[in-house]
Amino acid sequence: MAADPSRTRSSVTSAVEVRRSARRSRTVSAYREGDRTIVLIPARMSEAEERRWVTVMLDKLAAQESKRVLGDNDLTERAERLSTQYLGGGARPESVRWVTNQNTRWGSCTPAEGSIRLSHRLQGMPEYVIDYVLVHELAHLLVPGHGPRFWRLLEAYPRTERARGYLEGVVAAARLPQLPVD
């Protein structure tokens, strides 16, 4: 196989660009660059090894990102970016913040005030889950209810089903009986 210095692969979250290097002998690394993930691998690696390492590095980055807690300012910036990316910039929240008094819902929105509140229980969850909840609440700034028009807006976010499944799993796990600790 010819050593292609830069090959791009599609991913659900973003583009993944694999860069092969003849100088790199054993190490593999990855980092985010905007909406892309760059994975650096040795040039001698096989296609199978490349696929395996891309998966490993994407999982590693996601784990690192899920540990980072976003502040309210970060949430506001993120909401603005998500509105632009998935809702044509039409949803413009006045405020986006974490709250500790939402234990039965993941987020809420008051369209008249333009305020979005996210449950603190989302902190530490993968970023695509937080992004889904943000897009969901941003969509409420445009469409107050959960009718067909609302769900059509959410179709723009590519990880909607995965995030909903993740949140459903969290809810289901909370209902499981707790085993006694020995």
pLDDT at 2: 38
pLDDT at 169: 93
pLDDT at 72: 78
For 126-148, b/e burial (b = at least 16 CB within 10 A) is bbbbbbbbbbbbbbbbbbeeeee
* Residues forming beta bridges with residue 102, ordered by sequence position: none
Give the β-pairing of 115-119 and 107-110: antiparallel
Sign, Cα dihedral of 69, 78, 114, 139: negative
* Residues forming beta bridges with residue 28, ordered by sequence position: none
Tokens describing residue 74: 């970060």
Compute the distance between CA of residue 130 and CA of residue 160 in angstroms, rounded to an integer: 11
How many C-beta atoms lie closer than 10 Å to residue 28's C-beta?
A: 18
Q: What is the mean pLDDT of each run of 10 residues along the chain (182 residues)?
A: 37 72 89 84 92 88 69 87 94 92 92 93 88 96 94 93 93 81 64
| Burial zone of 107 (CB within 10 Å; 0-12 exposed, 13-18 middle, 19+ buried) | buried
pLDDT at 67: 60
pLDDT at 65: 67
